[in-house]
Amino acid sequence: MRHYDLVIIGSGSGNSIVDERFAEWDVAIVEKGIGPGSVYGGTCLNVGCIPTKMFVHAADTARTPAGSSRLGVDLELRGVRWGEIRDRIFGRIDPIAAGGERYRAEGSPNVTLLKGTARFTGVRELVVETAAGPQALTADRIVVAAGSRPAVPDLPGIDTSGYLTSDTVMRLDELPPRMIIMGTGFVGVELAHVFSALGVEITVIGRSDLLLRHEDTDIARRFTDLAGQRWDLRMDRTASRVEREGSLVRVYVDGPDGPETLEAEELLVATGRVPNTDLIDAAAGGLKLTDDGRVYADSTQATSVEGVWALGDISSPYQLKHVANHEARVVQHNLLNPDAPIESDHRYVPHAVFSAPKIASVGLTEEQARAAGIEYVCATHAYADIAYGWAMEDTTGFVKLLADPITGLLLGAHLIGPEAPTLIQPVIQAMHFGLDARTMARGQYWIHPAMPELVENALLKLDLRVAPA
């Protein structure tokens, strides 16, 4: 039974932990996707954030002609070369994954790469199921960073339907004429944007009456209204079964008007992600789990077992790469400085949705503030009411801010419209560093007529009751 100083399960954000400060440590990194067709580097690099946003940029470009005429410019979309789009994206990503694996294998003499699925067999004891057979190992310290995978609903016929997930849809050989998307979260609406912009007819199935229902309700309503102009939205529906007949897939749903049958060439299942706690048999390692099946980690990212840390999708409720990277830096510090641990800062975790229009959010929604009994004031400002919004002829985007009425400290921010993920960054900064709305609005220059004036004007509209002393 091989013993290590440190074992890291997963090569995503966990891979970034080991640097030159670990040169004297005997380290193993376990990754099931090593070798030909390597997915070394984790979800974000290979099947998540990076490739999807590269596809989104192509989709944004393909949509440009549709809105050009209102600016007095006549543009035409002459065609989409799917194979070239796909190969350009993965022609960049695949070598990065392979290079990351090669660097660890050849450039880190103290690091052993093990290909296979690791599972706990006891406290800080693992078995890795490799092609050559199971390998047992123990370690003084283990970092669990094994990520998550697409969730697939338990529907009759779905296993034989040839469904796609976010792991597989971006590698399609050719674009289908039609696609049904099951799911209304950020994965579903981002990929709906990609494929509809590239010419695929999209039908979206949702159980509620809103897309992105976890966003602030005003944002979700605006997005749903706009999405309904592009996609066939089948809301308030519940799927009952799926079947495949030749080149067609059928999804049977029940809705307000009774049973319906939806038909397309491809079915994309985008109903969320599940942490890989079952794959690693976390319970066998003595690891406490949360009610929703994640590995429990405290504010230092330590689990319930001494010497074991967890980070990223397998333990975090956020399932965001920037959160996993932050947690990896915390784990790295705490491994190197066990007598002076630091804590993760999850106070103001932002997120963005790269669909059309784009969305960004940080902090409390109005519904959350109201439910928690938190006193707040709220202000909105439309893109159409700033000079650069006139330039873009944007009539649907807006920002919504929530703040404490006395201190002026921001409680939440929600944007929908062009460059929302960029425009929200000053608000994130203000919240993290305790900058109140009054100071933020009038304590600095705002470039005119740039897009950040959207945020400036919303700050000025907040009805703050007491001026600072």
List residues with catalytic annotation. 448
Strand order in the sheet with 238-245: 238-245, 248-255, 258-264
How far apart (Å, rounded) are the C-alpha atoms in residues 29 and 142? 10
How far apart (Å, rounded) are the C-alpha atoms in residues 219 and 416? 7
Phi, psi of 49 (to 5 degrees): -50, -50
Enumerate long-range contacts of 363-366, CB under 8 Å, 24 or more apart.
Answer: 363/402, 363/410, 363/411, 363/412, 363/413, 363/431, 364/402, 364/411, 364/412, 365/215, 365/216, 365/217, 365/412, 365/414, 366/216, 366/217, 366/218, 366/400, 366/402, 366/412
3-state secondary structure of 251: strand
Secondary structure letter of residue 283 according to DSSP: G
How far apart (Å, rounded) are the C-alpha atoms in residues 353 and 368? 19
Beta bridge partners of 62: none
Residue whose C-alpha is closest to residue 10's, from 278, 335, 310, 326: 310
Judge contact between 128 and 137, C-beta under 8 A.
yes
